[in-house]
Amino acid sequence: MILLRRNGGFSSVHATVWILALQLVSAPSASSGTTGILQGVVVGRETHEPLPGVNISLPVLQRGTVTDDEGGFELQNLPPGRYDVRVTHVSYRTVMLKDVVIQPDIRTRLSIELEPANVELSEIVVQEQTPPIQTEVTGTAFHFTGEELSVLPVDYAADAIGLKPGVTMEGNVRGGKVTEVLYLVDGLPVRDILSGELSVSLPKSSITGMSITTGGFEPEYGNALSGIVNIVTKTGANTPRIFIRADKDDLYGTQVSKATTFDVLASGPLKENTAFYTASISGLLTDTRWWQDFQYFFPSPVEKNLNGFAKFAYLFDPATRLDAQVLYAHHDWRDYEFDWRFDLSGLPPESRDSYRLAAIFSKTPSEHFSYTASLSSFFIRSRIGTGSSEDVPANNPYQYDFFLQYVVSGQRAWWEDSKQATYTGKFDGLYRPAREHLVKFGAEVNLYNLLSDIVKYEPRRTFFGKPIIDQPQLDFSTNYAYHPRSGSLYVQDKIDVLGDGSLINVGIRYDILDPLAFRPDIEAIPVSDTAYSFVTQRIVKASIKQQISPRFGATMPLGEETFLFVNLGWYIQYPLFEYLYSGLDRVALAKGLTAITGNPDLDPERTFSYEISVKHAFTSDVVASATYFSKQTTNPIDTKTFVPGDSKLAGTFGFAEYVNTPHADCYGLELVLSREKGSWLTGEFSYTYMVAEGTSGSAQDAFYLAQFGFLPAVRSYPLSWDQRHTVKLSAQAAMKSGTTVSLAAEYHTGRPYTYYPTSTGFAPVTTAPFAENNARMPDCTNIDLRAEQVIDLGFWSVATVKMYADIRNLLDARNVSWMDSNGRIGGELGDPSGYFVGRRTRVGLQVEF
């Protein structure tokens, strides 16, 4: 991995890169990772000789081709889904291959034998069997179809990542932070670039497929360290379709959240064979698990989460397509904190609105070349509190009871109005210069507009959570507007080495980020033995960050049904923009220092990872795999606090700044046994052993430790998501009676927490050295179940009606969420949030016609 960095102005090299990227995206637009390839060879059944001139067609897509002199064929730029493939030749019987699966980023390969026919005979219908092992995917990847997602006991498609090996309950992938996973919809990111959160959740009814990559993703994907989740949306067809689903959790059982969910979709043709539409909306209306307290303060529902999607597709011809799409999400909610249960109206309301507009153009000029390109704009607005920033009670902290346990009056001093806009141009090409090579290349440019206005004060607390009411509050306020920009280029070649399943993936990616900001050069001047004053000596322009990241993968056969996979690569992720810009305005305007000041000169976080796996197909539908992986991450983000020793003795907190810290490391082993196809039972069983250690668990660790007089860790310790042993089982059973049952079960050993007991809440009871995450919480077991039954309505043959029940935490297990430093579940107050949610049962009805 190579880092190119230059201080100061915009060099000719930078200008060349930006101009080249802009030229590449000036074409009409689309995105990577949303289409697949159909490839194969046709031979005579008796002679086994290649057959040229055979017609290969996908009738529903109006796409087709003809085999070459060697009997080979290829169709690029195919939308994911299941298709019938028709194979015809004047001298041979016609063959119809049913349910051929096209997956994003995958070549579906067919070997077809044609039977000679001297007279007209009916066509041969074959149920296509895809290979049990995808040899060209050299990293660890999983795929779901839209039908599979619809029967899983998950609320949103992105939740399905938790069913896979190497992923914790909270969504950490292979030892990384949850923000190290990149979520894409049709190849374009849907991440909040300030907080790192997923900002949009698509209706499940609008999804045609999803790919999850947890190791060894290819160079077309960047700005992620741990994983890629790419969701591909549906496109309308000539057949109109309407889908309606709704359920509630308070129709059965006593453990409820007073939740209602719904999902509605309509799709069909605007002009037959030419123009199509898809529109869907889904929602969650709930009073949350805390409804018994919320009901005394707020009307129902307390939380509303609405997601909408619309796509319009126009086919100029079978090989040229234009999509226009709108994606929208609205979420407003109230946080619940147990120590505020008597004053919940003192917690500010929160809301977030997101929407994306995109135009996606794809074209296949020839059998050997295709491209997609896109132009998109993505907007997010986040609000906390009501009124204006002047209404925040900055100098009037809320009041606690005598024992400093519960808040009894007052308001939290937190108000926010943040806006972000991302304008993206993207181009991806696919070119086959020879039968052995498949070259992918592309470019991307992002322009950002960031405006953040935050007023936030927090009381100082002891390590044990007790407020220090005689100390000034910590000030996290900021107000900034910045317009950074980023870009990338990549190229990759997939090389079929010997034609026996051996393959080499080699590629390289180039990334560039221009923060377009200045940082203060601050010097600490001692004023006493225990205090500093901080002086801004000068303002320095943040440097442009550049990165070259090579990727390599290989597949080789060890036997007829056994393959070895090797993958290694360098990956980067830019720091969240909040870490770059927060608090800089207060320094620049000489208004005094905020608690934590951003650093626009932060380097990107970097990971080098490799994995080695062996896969063996016992039968055409049962596969076992063993994968060893290792990751080394440098430049994680934390804070450096410029105070001598215990900040409480200094009389002022001093100056804290985001900085790059040493490292984090993860390694582990994944064992998987899966059956992806079957007449009635499919599923996956996995075991993961994983170690995740580092010198920092979050971007504020050192900041808060400094308050308590503790020094930041200098040696690695188990991170909070260090989930050592995990067993998962997911299974789907489809009965002839029309009943489908889906099960998701998980067991994992306890995660770390810091045991450092106190009797007063202000001082420890031990003189032992402080050590982070030196103890473990209890083990965790969870089982989710979804069962649905088709209802036969003989009088309404055009409709499919299903009743279903979705049960989460079937055994009502009391799984521990957190423990305090005394080892008490839920802390001093016995906070119920110390346990994950108990059993919840939703009963619903689904109609499709």
7 vs 560, higher pLDDT: 560
User: In this predicted model, which residue has the larger pLDDT, 12 or 345?
Assistant: 345
Cα gap 572→33, rounded to integer Å: 19
Half-sphere exposure of 769 toward its Cβ, with a 13 Å CA cutoff? 4
Rounded CA Rg of the chain: 28
Rounded Cα–Cα distance for residues 848 and 790 (Å): 11
Distance, in Å, from the CA atom of 122 to the CA atom of 120, rounded to the nearest integer, reads 7
Distance, CA of 287 to CA of 26 (rounded, Å): 47
- pLDDT for 642 equals 63
pLDDT interval class at 742 (50, 70, 90): very high
Which residue(s) pair with 498 in the sheet? none
Query: Is the confidence at residue 846, as pLDDT, over 80?
Result: yes
pLDDT for 721 beyond 90: yes
HSE-up of 109 (CA within 13 Å, CB side)? 14
Confidence at 472, pLDDT banded by 50, 70, 90:
confident
* CA–CA distance, 772 with 720 (Å, rounded to integer): 9
Q: Are 506 and 552 in contact (CB under 8 A)?
A: yes
Q: Which residues pair with 731 in a beta bridge?
A: 683, 743
pLDDT value at 300 more than 60:
yes
Q: What is the pLDDT of residue 645?
A: 39
pLDDT tens digits, residue range 473-523?
A: 888 888 999 999 999 999 999 998 877 778 999 999 999 999 999 877 766
pLDDT digits (tens, 9 = 90+) for 222-256: 999 999 999 999 988 899 999 999 999 998 778 89
Query: Rounded CA gap, 783 and 806, in Å?
Result: 11
Task: Choose the weakest-confidence range: 444-448, 556-560, 711-715.
Answer: 711-715
How many Cα atoms within 13 Å fall on the side-chain side of residue 702?
25
Q: Compare 115 and 277 and report the one with higher pLDDT.
A: 277
CA–CA separation, 184 and 223 (whole Å): 12
Helix, coil or strand: residue 188: strand
Peptide bond into 189 cis (omega under 30): no
Delineate the domains of the chain, giving CATH numbers in brackets.
Answer: 9-17+138-267+290-848 (2.40.170.20), 31-127 (2.60.40.1120)
Q: How confident is the model at residue 299 (pLDDT cuts 50, 70, 90)?
A: very high
Q: Are 689 and 669 in contact (CB under 8 A)?
A: yes
- Give the pLDDT of residue 662: 77
Note whether 415 and 384 are within 8 A (CB): yes
Question: 783, 744 in Cβ contact below 8 A?
Answer: yes
**Low-confidence winner among 15-19, 340-344, 348-352, 584-588 (lowest mean pLDDT):** 15-19
| pLDDT score, position 696 | 86
Give the Cβ contact number of residue 766 at 10 Å: 11
**pLDDT score at 536:** 63
* Residue 440 pLDDT exceeds 80: yes
- Please report the pLDDT score of residue 146 as a whole number: 87
State how beta strands 840-848 and 800-808 pair. Answer: antiparallel
Contact 232, 34 (CB under 8 A): yes
Query: The whole model's pTM is what?
Result: 0.88
The SS3 assignment for 512 reads strand
User: Over 70: is that where the pLDDT of 702 sits?
Assistant: yes
Contact criterion met (CB below 8 Å) for 276 and 270: yes
pLDDT band at 780, cuts 50/70/90? very high
Rounded Cα distance, 60 and 544, in Å: 48
> Residue 792 pLDDT > 50, yes or no?
yes
* Termini Cα distance of the chain: 53
pLDDT tens per residue, range 576-587: 999 999 888 755
